Amino acid sequence: MANLIDGKAVSAAVKAQVKTECEALKSEGVTVGLAVVIVGDNPASRVYVNNKKKACAEVGFESYEYALPEETTQQELLELVDKLNGDSKVNGILVQLPLPRHIDENAVINAISPVKDVDAFHPRNVGHIMIGDYAFLPCTPAGVMELIASTGVEVEGKNCVVIGRSNIVGKPMAMLLLHKNGTVTITHSRTKNLKEICAGADILVAAVGKAGFVTEDMVKPGAVVIDVGMNRNAEGKLCGDVDFEACKEKARYITPVPGGVGPMTIAMLMRNTLTAARIQRK
């Protein structure tokens, strides 16, 4: 039976540290601010934005919400981003994805100042992550690394398998494991012998977006299993990419959904925003 990796507890510790450091900055006259931009009325996006605002209040940040209508043009959004780039009260800028179809997400990401890009999606920050010389890390992969560290399992020398190759999770996740001297395999929909590859993983990170995709026969006995997925099953219940009930019998450590990776993403956003404030202060 696997040990549960408690994302709520680990994220609470991260936010507590951020709060302590935020208070120290405030004593020096520095207030940390995060701007969150949401376009349209996507219900999931609204939940995420509300959670981010709540976390800001918890750690002592100022939060600035910009809720724009669905019909907002790309130019109007870019003008807002440019305004926020020049606003000294704003240390971090987060444009909630996905955006309406008529807006080019890449154009918006590229418009955010790299020193305020607390999602770490800007090509300049992605490049820094590739070479291991970074200020910010994408929030979800950074949170996964914190969860792995909380188990006491060393990444160095381990066979690490990432299922998924997205720019937001899969690719940066592989780079972070590589920076810790893991031997990394990225798998995806075109991978042959996927089950056999996964079954050889000491550390398995599932970020594929399919409920119950990882089955028991894909898990090595004693593995660390990290479930990044956030899906709804046929009954409408929140679940991950991993068949939790079956896989927990084989894994040594496993994250639940909810309560695993999810809380870490927002905690790491808070850490990135604090880092951004420090960089801009210099």
The residues annotated with a catalytic role in the active site are: 52, 96, 119
Burial of residue 139, with CB atoms counted within 10 A of its CB: 0-12 exposed, 13-18 middle, 19 or more buried = buried
Spatial separation of the C-alpha atoms in residues 84 and 74, rounded to whole Å: 15
Strand partners, 67: 38
Strand partners, 224: 203, 253
* 243 backbone dihedrals φ, ψ, rounded to 5°: -70, 90
Q: CA of 207: how far to CAs of 13, 121, 152, 166, in Å?
A: 24, 17, 22, 8
